[in-house]
């Protein structure tokens, strides 16, 4: 399987809390989910609450060891494409419906926290900053669009942003209702719940994705898995030929600092900017700063030490310049990872065209967790033959 991450992510430090067997015989299941990252986990969670069918999750490595381990854990309604920009490309009705999907996904994620407080999700505000002069107007337009969407937010002038948050930007939106999460802890919490509910899990079992037939697929070791329905939740590791023209794989960098005592900035809001590619920062629950950015159009991870040192220094300096001239960052973890995006900015979720029992939820786009949550519900509805108001917008053959 392709390398998705290189370097030391903060989550690597923790000991795993469970282990599942590999597939050693032929298997039979009703619903087969390939991939135990955020997408596969949430799908198993949502499905197991709605159907008695036998569900099996298989991962080629360990649960939560794909891109979900690189996830920096910002959970936001707003995606990399502004609502006001979507209104121009896909029309106001679809754009508003799509953002409603994300609002609902955030609410669903908050509800999971209410059931499983140990899943580590916390409510946060986001501060979205115009860091270029000509983005001020764009941000003002976005403010109106988000207000019209019923979101709770404030528009901050340059002076207000400086006074309240000690940051230098042209203007900013302070948005309520977002969240942050330790993605690995979240997946582990739901995996334990799913397994207790009867979902069968297997790890260390790569599936030969090209071997799929009407109702069977083979592991790389040659074991046959017979299914009624299959859900591909394989992330960016494999590019499905029928989707290849719609997507782009890039590379991005992230750092996690040493623990800092006290709160490094007001209300520990999650910070990101309008510049493209953008920088983003948040605090973690153990008092570290997590930051990312420097996206590049390259589809392999960087392994060369000299280049990595330069990138680490560049990311650290950009973050310090953005906000923390008074707060030098001591980097403890630094990594780079592949990152999948979709050319029209919308996620790809749904049934394979012309196939009745093959579904895809691949976690593309920066708001991946939000899409994994919404996608799990879309797949559940499609699979159970129910209407879903968002399925049409994100369908694979749009």
Ligand X SMILES: Cc1cc2nc3c(=O)[nH]c(=O)nc-3n(C[C@H](O)[C@H](O)[C@H](O)COP(=O)(O)OP(=O)(O)OC[C@H]3O[C@@H](n4cnc5c(N)ncnc54)[C@H](O)[C@@H]3O)c2cc1C
Contacts with ligand X, residue ranges (CB under 6 A) = 1, 34-40, 58-61, 65-68, 70-75, 206-207, 209, 233-235, 237-238, 252, 254, 292, 337, 339, 362-363, 366-370, 372
Nearest-approach distance from CB 280 to ligand X, in angstroms: 7
Nearer residue to ligand X within complex by CB, 170 or 272: 272
Residue position matching structure tokens 């989550």: 11
In whole angstroms, the minimum distance from the beta carbon of 237 to ligand X comes to 4
Residue 219 Cβ, how far from ligand X at the closest point, in Å? Answer: 8
| Residue 241 CB-density burial (10 A; 0-12 exposed, 13-18 middle, 19+ buried) | exposed
Q: Considering the complex, state which of residue 64 and residue 169 has its C-beta at the smaller distance from ligand X.
A: 64
Q: Shortest approach of ligand X to residue 360 CB, angstroms? A: 10
Of 171 and 271, the one with the shorter C-beta distance to ligand X is: 271
Provide, rounded to whole angstroms, the least separation between the CB of residue 397 and ligand X: 20
CA distance 166 to 384: 51
Q: What is the DSSP string of 73-85?
A: -EE-SS-SS-HHH
Helix (H) or strand (E) holding 230, with range, is: strand 229-232
Paired sense of beta strands 122-130 and 270-273, if any: parallel
List all residues 6 or more positions away from 397 whose beta carbon is below 8 Å from its beta carbon. 353
Max CA distance (Å), the chain: 65
CB of 105 to ligand X, least distance (A): 10
CB-wise, 86 or 240, nearer to ligand X? 240
Rounded (10°) angle between helices 368-383 and 38-50: 40
Of 35 and 264, the one with the shorter C-beta distance to ligand X is: 35
**Least gap, CB of 66 to ligand X (angstroms):** 2
User: d(Cα 263, Cα 261) in Å, to the nearest integer?
Assistant: 7
Which one, 1 or 317, has the nearer CB to ligand X? 1
Nearer to ligand X, 175 or 254 (CB): 254
Which tokens go with 394?
């994100």
- Region of 66 on the Ramachandran plot (φ > 0 left; ψ -120 to 50 alpha; else beta): beta
Residues 6+ apart with CB under 8 A from 103: 77, 149, 150, 151, 177
Nearest-CB residue for ligand X? 368
Strands 171-180 and 74-75: antiparallel
Of 152, 153, 142, 151, nearest in space to 88 by CA: 142
Measured from the CB atom, the residue of 177 and 235 that comes closer to ligand X is 235
CB of 35 to ligand X, least distance (A): 3
């Amino acid at each position: 399987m392709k390398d998705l991450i290189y370097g030391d992510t903060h989550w690597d430090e923790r000991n795993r809390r469970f282990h599942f067997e590999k597939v050693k015989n032929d298997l039979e299941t009703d619903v087969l989910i390939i991939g135990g990252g955020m997408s596969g986990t949430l799908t198993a969670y949502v499905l197991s609450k709605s159907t008695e069918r036998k569900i099996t999750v298989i991962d080629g490595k360990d649960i939560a060891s794909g891109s979900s381990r690189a996830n920096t854990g910002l959970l936001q309604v707003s995606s990399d494409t502004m609502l006001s920009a979507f209104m121009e490309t896909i029309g106001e009705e679809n754009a508003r419906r799509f953002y409603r999907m994300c609002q609902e996904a955030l609410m669903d994620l908050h509800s999971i926290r209410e059931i499983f407080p140990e899943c580590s999700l916390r409510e946060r505000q986001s501060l979205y900053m115009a860091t270029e002069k000509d983005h001020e107007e764009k941000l003002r337009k976005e403010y109106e669009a988000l207000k019209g969407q019923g979101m709770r937010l404030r528009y901050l002038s340059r002076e207000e942003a400086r006074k309240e948050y000690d940051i230098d930007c042209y203007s900013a939106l302070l948005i309520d209702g977002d969240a942050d999460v330790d993605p690995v802890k979240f997946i582990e919490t739901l995996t334990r719940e799913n397994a207790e509910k009867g979902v069968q899990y297997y790890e260390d079992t790569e599936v030969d994705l090209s071997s799929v037939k009407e109702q069977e697929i083979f592991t790389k070791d040659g074991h046959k898995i017979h299914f009624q329905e299959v859900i591909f939740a394989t992330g960016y590791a494999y590019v499905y030929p029928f989707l290849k023209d719609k997507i782009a794989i890039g590379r991005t960098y992230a750092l996690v600092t040493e623990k800092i005592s006290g709160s490094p900035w007001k209300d520990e809001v999650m910070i990101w900017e309008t510049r493209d590619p953008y920088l983003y920062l948040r605090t973690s629950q153990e008092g570290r700063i997590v930051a990312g950015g420097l996206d590049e159009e390259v589809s392999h991870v960087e392994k060369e030490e000299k280049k990595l040192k330069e990138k680490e220094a560049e990311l650290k300096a950009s973050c310090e310049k953005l906000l923390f001239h008074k707060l030098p960052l001591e980097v403890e973890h630094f990594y780079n990872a592949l990152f999948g995006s979709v050319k029209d900015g919308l996620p790809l979720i749904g049934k394979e065209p012309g196939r009745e029992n093959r579904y895809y939820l691949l976690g593309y786009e920066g708001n991946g967790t939000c899409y994994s949550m919404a996608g799990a519900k879309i797949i559940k509805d499609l699979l159970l033959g129910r209407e879903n108001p968002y399925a049409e917008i994100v369908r694979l053959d749009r």
